[in-house]
Amino acid sequence: MSYGFNADEIFEIAEDIERNGAKFYRQMSEDFSDISVRELFLDLAAMEDEHEKAFVSMRADLSDKGRKTTVFDPEGESALYLRALADLRVFDKDAQEDFALPAGLSEQEQMHRVLHTAIGLEKDSIIFYLGMKELVPENLGKARIDGIIKEEMGHIKLLSNRMSLL
């Protein structure tokens, strides 16, 4: 089955991913007493907020052509497919609500679990954006998506550096 969609739908999903990522990092910042850890998560949340703003801007800049589906899709299945992919793999908002650290772990063990999870989520967002980039025409923001991918890679570096301190 072939799925068609438009840049508007892609950017909307990307906005959701970034919004969910910011929420995840803010939630994690509340779970630790170490100021440097809290600041790391709050900084990452702010970066995700900036990515969301970039996608909002790209979406606002779309012409009517960028809002039209590229393939006949009367049931809107393509948007549902992309949304399901994003929701299941990248900063899933429902999984975040259920994300709880087991009791009895030291703060260091809890930190290791959170960092490991966050690195995995960042990797998943990069994979999503790489696929997304291939579907977005140059004039609709492909270069800006490249920049966000590089920033997401930077998030992995920040998280990995912090993990190496454990």
Domain borders along the chain are 7-164
**Range 127-132 average pLDDT:** 81
Distance CA 164, CA 33 (A): 19
Q: Write down the pLDDT at residue 114.
A: 92
| CA separation for the pair 51, 58 (Å, rounded) | 11
What pLDDT shows up at residue 17?
Answer: 87
Residue 71 pLDDT: 45
- pLDDT tens per residue across span 61-117: 877 655 665 544 556 665 566 666 666 556 665 555 556 777 888 888 989 999 999
**Predicted TM-score of the model (pTM):** 0.79
43-53 pLDDT per residue, tens: 999 999 999 99
Contact 9, 17 (CB under 8 A): no
Task: Calculate the average pLDDT of the chain.
Answer: 80
Q: CA-CA distance, 99 to 31, in Å (whole number)?
A: 11
pLDDT at 95: 53
Q: Give every CB contact of residue 9 below 8 A, 6+ residues apart in sequence.
A: 78, 79, 82
Choice between 6 and 97, residue whose per-residue pLDDT is larger: 6
What is the average pLDDT across 3-10?
Answer: 66
Q: How confident is the model at residue 2 (pLDDT cuts 50, 70, 90)?
A: very low
pLDDT at 1: 44
Buried b (16+ CB within 10 A) or exposed e, 2-29: eebbbbbbbbbbbbbbbbbbbbbbbebb
Q: Which CATH class is domain 7-164?
A: mainly alpha
Please give the average per-residue pLDDT across 8-18, as a whole number.
84
Locate 100 and state its tokens: 């709880």
